[in-house]
Amino acid sequence: MVPELLLALAPLGSGEERGAGAMDLGSQRRWIARTAMGIQSIADSDHQRLLELEGYGHYRALWQGSFDRQLSGPCFVGVFGLVALREDTPNPWGPELSERIWGGGLQIPLHVFVESGILSIVPRVGFTSGVLSLYDEGASSGALLLGGELVGVQSLTTATPTVGLGVALGIYYAPVPPPSEIGKSYDLGGAYLIVVGEIHG
């Protein structure tokens, strides 16, 4: 009688173990760290149009990093940082234009875990500061930064922590006072396309 009872309960016990295993797998996705690099187009502004008329380009190199912790379900909260650089000379005799931008802030992303990776919507708010200069002369300008990005990451490993690679498309808005005596508006933001490396656990 006892062996028969044990045999009857055995499938139930294995099912509970499988359920616990599935719950453990979900609970492991509690943090996400990302680093990324790519190109950023410079936001349209009166000052940028003048620079383009002089032959200067309209792209920056962009680096980003972020770290998120889970709040509940797909809702996370995190921090981010960025650095953007531009060096440009329109011709062999023209003055070199140099631009340095750095910033950071808070983000409240939605991360949806799918079978092969993660899809994310990442709204952001923060502060950014930059220097746009010709002949190594320029003043620093700061501004409130608003933006966000859409991210798709493909998981490359199955072990935890999990490593992934993907792409992101985003935009920043950060209008600042005129960076020179010309008195034209300028924006430290712009749209961007970046390659994303990720690890999550």
Express each pLDDT in 18-62 by its tens digit: 333 333 334 455 899 999 999 999 998 888 888 888 888 889 999
Q: Is residue 2 part of a domain?
A: no
pLDDT, tens digit, 9 for 90 and up, residues 130-188: 988 877 666 778 899 999 999 999 999 988 899 999 999 999 999 987 765 555 788 99
Q: Which residue has the tokens 């209008």?
A: 175
Q: How far apart (Å, rounded) are the C-alpha atoms in residues 111 and 74?
A: 5
CATH of the domain at 174: 2.40.160.20
Q: What is the DSSP letter of 188?
A: S
Q: Is residue 168 part of a domain?
A: yes
Q: Is residue 10 part of a domain?
A: no
Q: Is residue 1 part of a domain?
A: no
Q: What 3-state DSSP class applies to 60?
A: strand
Q: Is residue 11 part of a domain?
A: no
pLDDT, tens digit, 9 for 90 and up, residues 90-112: 877 778 888 999 999 999 999 99
Q: How far apart (Å, rounded) are the C-alpha atoms in residues 139 and 193?
A: 28
Q: Is residue 165 part of a domain?
A: yes
| Residues 32 and 118 sit within 8 Å (Cβ to Cβ) | yes
Q: How far apart (Å, rounded) are the C-alpha atoms in residues 80 and 58?
A: 24
Write the CB contacts of 140 (distance below 8 Å, at least 6 apart in sequence).
129, 130, 131
Q: What is the DSSP letter of 9?
A: H
How does DSSP assign 76-133, residue by residue? Answer: EEEEEEEEEEEEE-SSTTSPPEEEEEEEEEEE--EEEEETTEEEEEEEEEEEEEEEEE
Q: Is residue 112 part of a domain?
A: yes
Q: Is residue 14 part of a domain?
A: no
Residues in the chain: 201
Average pLDDT, the chain: 84
> In terms of residue numbers, what domain contains 150?
30-200
Q: How many domains does the chain have?
A: 1
- Looking at residue 140, what is its pLDDT? 78
